[in-house]
Amino acid sequence: MQTLMKLGRMIYAMNVQVEYKKGRDWIPKVAEIVSAFDTGLELTASNFHSSELKAQCFASSSAAFKKSDNFRIKKILDKKPISRSFYYFEKEEI
């Protein structure tokens, strides 16, 4: 396959449905983030993005922020393209 050109990855403004644990209950919340990732799985795998979304639910100095089992990204509700990235690239192949 021949690479035609390298395009910057699309950057999105997203509304993401997250859940955080308070006591024994999971509380749903809609959080906002800007990212070059496409899916919720990619957001979950990224420590930076997970921490950014988690900080919208907990104070970053709290004990709840440091736990790993009290927060989950459920799904992306809305995704609007903003621009193309000059840092992240994707390949188009023919």
SS3 54: helix
pLDDT(46) > 50: yes
pLDDT of residue 70: 82
* Pairing mode of beta strands 25-35, 71-93: unpaired
Domain residue ranges in the chain: 8-87
Q: By percentage, how much of the chain surpasses pLDDT 70?
A: 79
Model confidence pLDDT, tens digit, residues 33-45: 998 888 888 888 8
Model confidence pLDDT, tens digit, residues 7-25: 778 889 999 998 888 888 8
Which has more confidence, 5 or 32?
32
Q: Taking Cα atoms as reference points, which of 88, 92, 94, 93 lies closest to residue 38?
A: 88
Q: Where are the beta strands (DSSP E) in the chain?
A: 3-22, 25-35, 71-93
Contacts of 15 (CB under 8 A, 6+ apart): 30, 31, 32, 76, 77, 78
Give me the count of residues in the chain. Answer: 94
